[in-house]
């Protein structure tokens, strides 16, 4: 006989709690992200298109809704609601802010609201670290990394690379904001990286001097246009999605996280599709690489362009929730669901 359904308690999990739950768990989160990619590739997820809320009076800003449902041993549904307001940086505020709602699989009732800028940065960094590891198979592992864009995402990606075994001799840094580039350099030096850290005033110099290039900018349209910059065949983590001109994309091996998601919203791969009228320039997804169905050419530039899947946020958010419960730190909002009698 099935157990009667009950309304789950509703909890709020702060950014400080999220950070504590994830601290030092980088390798575990990368494994979780890999498992989630595999579930998604196997069809054990629902990941609709992201919905963009844009503003005529603030064209550079947007708020994005990412609904998703994840199956597997611990199924969960939910929604990430993340804003990107680039002008915040002028006031010293982070560009992005976010919340994540987790919904109970059986009743649909939301059971947690989590601060999610950290979760979003974490799943992005874990995805990048996983891709860097798997896409460099068959080639010499890069020891020179360049960060194009030096905000929160760049910091998290460096943290995840370092925590999963990457050791660099040289770290290059480039940002349109000299203060941001200097701040990121100082952060890297405080971590005791051991690498020589160089701030590059010239973008081409950064790309040409790096075997692993991380794009983590807020660019709205391509600004890197010359495929010759990539003549040395680097591995490119194109996290910010809109930095590379179609000509650079077409001259590279291209791996995405999800084809339909990535080829929309004016991303660089989307522009390449418009230019060519087809998707033949795509070589596969990261899940294809994980499964051994695709092996990138080690002598050619490889570009990983992840649109960012809501199922990854759910997986990491569920991990944070369960870890917060295990620590005895869950803050339940009593009587959040008040009128539960069907007929009053």
Q: Could you tell me the CATH number of the domain that includes residue 42?
A: 3.30.1780.10
Residue 136 lies in a domain: yes
Residue 99 lies in a domain: yes
pLDDT at 341: 82
**63 and 149 co-located in one domain:** no
On whether both 142 and 266 belong to a single domain, the answer is yes
Q: Residue 315 domain-assigned? A: yes
92 belongs to a structural domain? yes
Q: To the nearest whole number, what is the mean pLDDT of the chain?
A: 95
| Same domain, yes or no: 195 and 216 | yes
Contact (CB, 8 A) for 94 and 115:
no
| DSSP assignment of 255-322 | EES-HHHHSSTT-HHHHHHHHHSS-TTEEEEHHHHHTTS----TTS-EEEE----HHHHHHHHHHHHH
Q: Are residues 171 and 42 in the same domain?
A: no
92 and 182 part of one domain = no
Q: pTM for this structure?
A: 0.94
Domain that holds residue 50: 11-119+310-326
Q: Does 243 lie in the same domain as 221?
A: yes
The pLDDT of residue 342: 79
pLDDT bucket at 9, cuts 50 / 70 / 90: very high
C-beta atoms surrounding 140 within 10 Å: 8
- For residue 241, the domain's CATH number is 3.40.50.720
Q: For residues 78 and 54, state if they share a domain.
A: yes
Q: Are residues 31 and 162 in the same domain?
A: no
Residue 116 and residue 317 in contact, taking contact as beta carbons nearer than 8 Å: yes
Q: Do residues 295 and 247 touch, judged by C-beta distance below 8 A?
A: no
Say what the alpha-carbon torsion angle 232, 237, 241, 244 is, to the nearest 10 degrees: -10
130 and 88, same domain (yes or no): no
How far apart (Å, rounded) are the C-alpha atoms in residues 128 and 30? 9
pLDDT digits (tens, 9 = 90+) for 249-296: 999 999 999 999 999 999 999 999 999 999 999 999 999 999 999 999
Domain total of the chain = 2
pLDDT by residue (tens digit) across 191-213? 999 999 999 999 999 999 999 99
Given a contact cutoff of 8 angstroms between Cβ atoms, the answer to whether 105 and 73 are in contact is no
* Any domain includes 194: yes
**pLDDT by residue (tens digit) across 129-178?**
999 999 998 889 999 999 999 999 999 999 999 999 999 999 999 999 99
58 located within any domain? yes
201 assigned to some structural domain: yes
Between CA 153 and CA 25 the distance in angstroms is 17
To the nearest 10°, report the CA torsion of 154, 40, 66, 146.
10
- On whether the CB atoms of residues 252 and 297 are closer than 8 A, the answer is no
In a domain, 3, yes or no: no
Whether residues 65 and 84 fall in one domain: yes
- The pLDDT score that the predictor gives to residue 339 is 85
Query: 24 and 56: one domain?
Result: yes
For residues 252 and 295, membership in a common domain is answered with: yes
DSSP per-residue string spanning 91-130: GT--SEEEEEEEE-TTT--EEEEEE-HHHHHHHHHHHHHH
Per-residue pLDDT, 252:
98
């Amino acid at each position: 006989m099935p157990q009667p359904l009950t309304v789950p308690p509703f909890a709020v999990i702060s950014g400080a709690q999220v950070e504590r739950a994830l601290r030092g768990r980088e390798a575990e989160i990368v494994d979780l992200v890999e498992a989630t990619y595999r579930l998604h590739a196997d069809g054990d997820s629902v990941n609709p298109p992201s919905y963009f809320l844009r503003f005529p009076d603030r064209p550079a800003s947007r708020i994005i809704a990412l609904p998703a449902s994840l199956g597997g041993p611990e199924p969960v549904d939910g929604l990430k609601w993340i804003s990107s307001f680039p002008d915040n940086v002028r006031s010293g505020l982070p560009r992005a802010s976010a919340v994540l709602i987790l919904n109970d699989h059986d009743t649909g009732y939301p059971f947690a609201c989590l601060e999610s800028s950290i979760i979003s940065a974490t799943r992005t960094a874990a995805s990048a670290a996983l891709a860097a590891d798997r896409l460099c198979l068959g080639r010499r592992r890069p020891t020179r990394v360049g960060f194009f864009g030096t905000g929160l995402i760049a910091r998290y990606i460096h943290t995840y690379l370092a925590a999963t075994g990457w050791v660099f001799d040289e770290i290059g840094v480039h940002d349109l904001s000299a203060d941001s580039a200097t701040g990121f350099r100082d952060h890297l030096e405080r971590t005791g990286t051991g690498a020589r850290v160089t701030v590059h005033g010239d973008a081409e110099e950064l790309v040409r001097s790096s075997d692993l290039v991380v794009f983590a900018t807020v660019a709205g349209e391509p600004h890197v246009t010359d495929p010759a910059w990539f003549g040395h065949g680097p591995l490119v983590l194109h996290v910010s999605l809109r930095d590379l001109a179609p000509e650079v994309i077409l001259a590279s091996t291209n791996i995405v996280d999800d084809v339909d998601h990535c080829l929309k919203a004016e991303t660089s791969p989307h522009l390449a599709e418009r230019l060519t009228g087809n998707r033949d320039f795509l070589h596969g997804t990261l899940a294809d690489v994980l499964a051994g169905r695709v092996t990138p050419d080690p002598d050619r530039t490889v570009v990983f362009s992840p649109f960012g899947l809501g199922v990854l946020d759910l997986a990491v958010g569920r991990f944070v929730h369960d870890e917060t419960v295990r620590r005895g730190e869950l803050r339940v909002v009593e009587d959040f669901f008040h009128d539960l009698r069907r007929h009053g």
